[in-house]
Structure 1
Amino acid sequence: MERTSNLQNRPLESNASGWMNGLIGVVIFSGSLPATRVAVLEFDPVFLTVARATLAAFLALSLLLLFKEKRPARHQLVPLIIVALGVVVGFPLLTALALQYVTSAHSIVFVGLLPLATAAFGVLRGGERPRPVFWLFSVLGSVLVVGFAVSQGLSASPQGDILMLLAILACGLGYAEGAKLSRTLGGWQVISWALVLALPMMAALTWWRMPDSFSGISAPAWFSLAYVSLFSMLIGFVFWYRGLAQGGIAAVGQLQLLQPFFGLALAATLLHEHVSIGMLGVTVAVILCVAGARKFAK
C-alpha cells in the first residue's frame, strides 16, 4: 500500500520539480538583457557574442566529456545547427547590437513576444493546428508592441527595435527546435551540443575580434560578460530544458511570461533605468495576449 502511494506521488513531485527548474531558468534568463546592456558599453557587440559562446562552449564540452554523452545522430545535426544559429549566435548578437540603441528596459518589452514566437514556430515545425482565436491574440500582441515602439519615437531608433524583433524571431525558432529535439536527445545536452558545434567558428571569431587591450574594461563589464557566458548561455538552459522535460513543454513554457517582469525589475534596480507606467502597461497587455494565445494553442 505504501509502495503504491509513493508511485502515485512521483508524477506530482516531478511536476513540481519541473516548475521549480523552469522558474529558475526564467529568472536566470531575465538577467541577460540588463547584463548585455552593461557589457556592450565597453565591449564590442560582435566580440561579446562570440566570446560568450566560446566560454560557454568550453564548459559544455567539459560536461559532455565528463558524463560521457553519446554523440548526436546524423539526423539530429541539422536541428542542432538551427538551435545554434537561433540561441547561440542569433539572439545574443542581435540583442547586443540592439542594446547600442535602446535601453534594456525598452528591449524587455519585446521579450514579451518570445513565448508567442516560440508557439508560432512550434506550429510551423511541429505541425500543430491552433484555434483561430490563437491568431487573434497573436496579431493583437504584435500590434501592441509595434504601437508602443512608435509611441516612444520609432524614428529616433528604428535600428534597435528592428534588431530586437529579429532577435525574438531567432530565439523563438531556437527554443522551438530545441524543445522538439530535447525529447530525443535530452534537455541540457541540446544546448551543450549546439554550443560545441558552434565552437570552432566562435573561437576563431573571438581571436579575430579580440581588442588590443583590456586595460580600460571595468569590473561590472567583466562580471556581465561572465554572467551572459555561463548563466545565460548554458546554466540557464540546464534548468530550463530540465523543467520542460519534467513538467511538460506546454505547461512550463508559460513561465516565460514572467520574464519581462523580472527583467524590468532588474533594469530598474541594478541599472537605475526609468520604467514608465506605459511601459509596464504594455508589458502586462502583451503578456495577457500571449497567455490567451497559449490557451487556444491546441
Structure 2
Amino acid sequence: MLVPVAFSGSALMRKTLDSTTDGWLCGLAGVLIFSGSLPATRLAVLGLDPLFITGARATIAGVLGALLLLALRAARPARAEVGPLVIVALGVVVGFPLLTALALQHVSSAHAIVFVGLLPLATAVFGVLRGGERPQAAFWLFSAAGSAAVVAFAMRHGIDASPLGDALMLAAIVVCGLGYAEGARLSRRLGGWQVICWALVISLPVMAPLAWWLWPASLAAVGATSWWGLAYVSLFSMLIGFVFWYRGLALGGIAGVGQLQLLQPLFGFVLAALLLHETVPPAMIAVTAVVIACVAGARRFGRATAASPSRNGTQTQRA
C-alpha cells in the first residue's frame, strides 16, 4: 500500500514541476514577443495617428480572434466571466496600447521601454489583489529593488525630457498590470488563448468603428514602415504574445512569471538600436543589468499559493 502512495506523490511532484517549467517557458516566449511592441509602435506612430493605431490593432486582432473561436468551437464565457473579460479588454486591448502610443509621441521607444521594468511589480500587486497569490516577503524586496532602479533612472533622465510622456507610460503600466493579472486568473478556467480572443471580441463594437472613423485621409502619406509596425502590434503584440503570456502566468504564477518582464527592457533596447537606430545610453544598460539580477532573486522567492484552490487542489481549465 505504501509503494503506490509514494509513486503517486512522486508523479504529482513531477507533474507540478513540469507545469511550472512550462509556465516559465511560455512566459519567456510572451516576453520576447512583447519586446518588439514599443519599437513597432514607434514605427507606426511615425505615419499613423495613435488613436487609429489603437483601434486598428484591436480590430485586426479581434477579427482573427473571432475566427479562431469559431474554428475551434470554443465555449462561450459564463456570465460571471464577462465582467473580468471587460477588465482585460480595458487594460490590455484599449488602455495600454492607447497610452503607450500617446507616450511615444513625446519619448523614444528606448526611453519608454525602461518603464516596462515597473510592470512586473504592478502585475504582482494585482496578482495579490485579484488572483489571491501570496509571494514570500523576500520576493517583494527583489521586485521593489528592480522597480526602484527603473524609477531612479526615470527621475534622472525622463522627467526633464517629457513629464507628459512619463505620466502616460506610468498610467499604461498600471492598467496593463491589472489586465495581466485579471487575464491570468481567467486563464486558469478559460485557457490563455480563449481569454485574449474573447477580450478582443468584446472590444470590437467600439474599436472597429474607431478605426473606421480615424482611417487615414491619404494612404500615400503613410510609409511602409508604419504599416509594418501596425502589422506587428496587431498580430503578435495583440494576439499571439498573449496566448503564451496568459498560459505562462496561469501555470507558473502571476507574481513569479510576471518578473520575467524585467528582461523585456534588454530585448527592447536591442530592437530599438537595430531597427530604429536609437541611441542606448550606458545608464539604460546599467538599469537593465540591475533588474535582470533582481529577476533571479524574485524567481527564487516568487512561488505563490492561490487563496482559494479547488477541492482536489488543482486548477481547472477548459479545453
TM-score by length of 2: 0.84
Deviations 1:85-123 (A, max 9, x none): 000000000000011111111111110111111001112
1:146 aligns with 2:151: yes
| CA shift for structure 1 position 17 | 4.4
> Is the partner of 2:219 in helix, strand or coil?
coil
The aligned runs of 1:106-255 (5 Å cut-off) are 106-137=111-142, 139-152=144-157, 154-249=159-254, 251-255=256-260
Change (3 A) 1:226 1:76: same
| CA shift for structure 1 position 260 | 1.3
Change (3 A) 1:23 1:134: closer
Would the aligned equivalents of 1:257 and 1:291 in 2 still touch at CA under 8 Å? no
Would the aligned equivalents of 1:88 and 1:194 in 2 still touch at CA under 8 Å? yes
Change (3 A) 1:184 1:228: same
| CA shift for structure 1 position 258 | 1.8
Unaligned stretches of 5+ in structure 1? none
| CA shift for structure 1 position 46 | 0.6
Which stretch shows the higher mean deviation, 100-109 or 233-242?
A: 233-242
Which stretch shows the higher mean deviation, 175-184 or 247-256?
A: 247-256
Q: Partner of 1:97 in structure 2?
A: 102
Would the aligned equivalents of 1:264 and 1:275 in 2 still touch at CA under 8 Å? yes
> Is the partner of 1:279 in helix, strand or coil?
helix
Deviations 1:159-206 (A, max 9, x none): 111111111111100000000111111111000000000000001111
Q: Partner of 1:268 in structure 2?
A: 273
| CA shift for structure 1 position 23 | 2.3
Higher relative contact order (CA 8 A, sep 6+): 1
Change (3 A) 1:164 1:211: same
Question: What is the rounded CA distance, in whole Å, between the counterparts of 2:219 and 2:256 in structure 1?
Answer: 44
Question: What is the rounded CA distance, in whole Å, between the counterparts of 2:19 and 2:155 in structure 1?
Answer: 44
Deviations 1:232-288 (A, max 9, x none): 000111122233445554554443222111111101111111111111112222344
Q: Partner of 1:31 in structure 2?
A: 36
Question: What is the rounded CA distance, in whole Å, between the counterparts of 2:159 and 2:170 in structure 1?
Answer: 13
| CA shift for structure 1 position 26 | 1.3
Which stretch shows the higher mean deviation, 65-74 or 204-213?
A: 204-213
1:256 aligns with 2:261: yes
Would the aligned equivalents of 1:113 and 1:286 in 2 still touch at CA under 8 Å? no
> Is the partner of 1:210 in helix, strand or coil?
coil
Would the aligned equivalents of 1:98 and 1:161 in 2 still touch at CA under 8 Å? yes
Change (3 A) 1:74 1:153: closer
> Is the partner of 1:21 in helix, strand or coil?
helix
TM-score by length of 1: 0.89
Question: What is the rounded CA distance, in whole Å, between the counterparts of 1:200 and 1:46 in structure 2?
Answer: 15
Q: Partner of 1:81 in structure 2?
A: 86
- The AA in structure 2 aligned to 1:164 is M
Would the aligned equivalents of 2:120 and 2:255 in 1 still touch at CA under 8 Å? no
Q: Partner of 2:291 in structure 1?
A: 286
- The AA in structure 2 aligned to 1:103 is S
- The AA in structure 2 aligned to 1:190 is V
Question: What is the rounded CA distance, in whole Å, between the counterparts of 1:25 and 1:286 in structure 2?
Answer: 18
> Is the partner of 1:69 in helix, strand or coil?
coil
Count of residues in correspondence between the two structures: 294
Q: Partner of 2:49 in structure 1?
A: 44
Change (3 A) 1:72 1:260: same
Question: What is the rounded CA distance, in whole Å, between the counterparts of 1:151 and 1:185 in structure 2?
Answer: 43
Would the aligned equivalents of 1:101 and 1:160 in 2 still touch at CA under 8 Å? yes
Question: What is the rounded CA distance, in whole Å, between the counterparts of 1:97 and 1:136 in structure 2?
Answer: 32
Instruction: Choose from 45, 65, 72 the match for 2:70.
Output: 65
- The AA in structure 2 aligned to 1:146 is V
Quote the RMSD (CA, aligned, Å).
2.5
